[in-house]
Structure 1
Amino acid sequence: MLDRRRVLQTLAGLFLSSFGLGGYAYAWEPAHQGVTRYRLKPARWPEGRRLRLAVITDLHVGGPHMPVARVRQIVEQTNALKPDLTLLVGDFVASRTRRSSDPAPAEWAAELARLQAPAGRFAVLGNHDWWQDERAQKELRGPTQSTVALEAVGIPVLENRAVRLQTGAGPLWIAGLGDQEAFVLRRRPRGLPYGLDDLPATLAMIRDDAPVILMAHEPDIFARVPSRVALTLSGHTHGGQVRLFGWSPIVPSRYGNRYAYGHVRENGRDLVVSAGLGTSKLPIRLGAPPEIVLIELG
Structure 2
Amino acid sequence: MFRWICRMFLTLFLLCLACVGLLAYAYWVEPNMLVVRSVEVESDQVTQPCKIVFFTDTHFGQYYDISHARKITDQINALEPDIVVFGGDLFDNYARDRETLDLSSLSAAFAEIEAKAGKFAVWGNHDYGGGAARVYEDMMEASGFEVLDDESRLLSDYGIRVIGYDDLLMGQTDDSLYMLKSQAFNVIVAHEPVIAQKIESSSQNLVLTGHTHGGQVTVPVLTDRLLPAGSGEFRKGFYDAQEIGTDVDLQMYTSSGIGMTRYPFRFLNAPEIVEINVHAA
1:257-294 Cα offsets, whole Å, 9 max, x none, are x2110101124420101110000111111111100000
CA, structure 1 residues 154+16, in 2 after alignment: closer, same or farther (shift >3 Å)? farther
2:42 maps to what in 1?
41
**Once superposed, what is the RMSD of the aligned Cα atoms?**
2.6
Instruction: Provide the C-alpha distance between the structure 2 equivalents of 1:151 and 1:270, rounded to a whole number of angstroms.
Output: 28
1:233 maps to what in 2?
208
Q: Give 1:203 deviation, angstroms.
A: 5.4
Instruction: Provide the C-alpha distance between the structure 1 equivalents of 2:273 and 2:129, rounded to a whole number of angstroms.
Output: 24
TM superposition score normalised by structure 1: 0.78
Structure 2: any 5+ residue segments left out of the alignment? Answer: 1-15, 242-246
Q: How does 1:183-202 map to 2 (within 5 A)?
A: 195-201=171-177
Task: Say whether the 8 Å CA contact 1:160–1:199 is kept in structure 2.
Answer: no
* Local SS of the residue matching 1:163: strand
Q: How does 1:128-277 map to 2 (within 5 A)?
A: 128-133=126-131, 136=133, 144-167=134-157, 170-182=158-170, 195-201=171-177, 208-227=182-201, 228=203, 230-244=205-219, 248-249=223-224, 250-253=226-229, 256=232, 258-266=233-241, 267=247, 268-277=249-258
1:97-130 Cα offsets, whole Å, 9 max, x none, are 3334321433312211111110110000110010
2:259 maps to what in 1?
278
TM superposition score normalised by structure 2: 0.83
* Percent identity between the two aligned chains: 30
Structure 1: any 5+ residue segments left out of the alignment? Answer: 1-14, 137-143, 183-194
Count residues with an aligned counterpart: 257
Q: Which segment drifts farther, 150-159 or 97-106?
A: 97-106
Q: Give 1:79 deviation, angstroms.
A: 0.5
1:5 maps to what in 2?
none
Give the AA of the match of 1:29.
E
Task: Say whether the 8 Å CA contact 1:162–1:175 is kept in structure 2.
Answer: yes
Instruction: Provide the C-alpha distance between the structure 2 equivalents of 1:255 and 1:127, rounded to a whole number of angstroms.
Output: 12
Q: Give 1:297 deviation, angstroms.
A: 1.1
2:62 maps to what in 1?
63
Q: Give 1:94 deviation, angstroms.
A: 1.8
2:275 maps to what in 1?
294
1:151-184 Cα offsets, whole Å, 9 max, x none, are 13331101011111233xx2321111011111xx
Task: Say whether the 8 Å CA contact 1:63–1:278 is kept in structure 2.
Answer: no
Task: Say whether the 8 Å CA contact 2:125–2:169 is kept in structure 1.
Answer: yes
Instruction: Provide the C-alpha distance between the structure 1 equivalents of 2:266 and 2:176, rounded to a whole number of angstroms.
Output: 36
